[in-house]
């Protein structure tokens, strides 16, 4: 299974960016999918997750500014980031808990990460 991310980049404070992630491979189901981020010198932290049923969960720091969505048929997840702040600067990682075809357990996969930089 591979997770391929797109989006990210440099934006001024108050601006918007959209991240996308596509999962491919021998996939039976993915639950949940989500985004994590890691700033320099800090631990990786949860940004948002979403279940296959559409139930989302957000870090308090991004509530009201970020929106996560997914397309179950395409195995994709997106993160719309609005009102960006300098403290949102980090490498953002796509995450997926995947049940592979023919197996009963889930395996965790990570994308390669995409840089988001918010200038003040």
- Reported as a pLDDT band with limits 50, 70 and 90, residue 14 is very high
92 Cβ neighbours under 8 A, 6+ residues apart: 5, 8, 19, 35, 36, 37, 47, 79, 113, 114, 115, 116
pLDDT of residue 103: 86
Whether the pLDDT of residue 101 is over 90: the answer is no
pLDDT digits (tens, 9 = 90+) for 33-91: 999 999 999 999 999 999 999 999 999 999 999 999 999 999 999 999 999 999 999 99
CA dist., res. 26 & res. 3, Å (int): 12
| Separation CA 49–CA 7 (nearest Å) | 18
């Amino acid at each position: 299974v591979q997770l391929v991310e797109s989006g990210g980049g440099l934006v001024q404070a108050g601006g918007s960016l959209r991240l996308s992630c596509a999962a491919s491979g021998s996939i039976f189901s993915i639950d949940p999918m989500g985004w994590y981020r890691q700033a320099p010198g800090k631990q990786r932290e949860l940004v948002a997750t979403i279940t296959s049923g559409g139930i989302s969960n957000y870090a308090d720091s991004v509530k009201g500014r970020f929106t996560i969505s997914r397309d179950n048929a395409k195995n994709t997840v997106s993160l719309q980031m609005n009102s960006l702040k300098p403290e949102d600067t980090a490498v953002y990682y796509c995450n997926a808990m995947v049940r592979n075809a023919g197996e009963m357990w889930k395996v965790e996969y990570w994308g390669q990460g995409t840089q988001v930089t918010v200038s003040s």
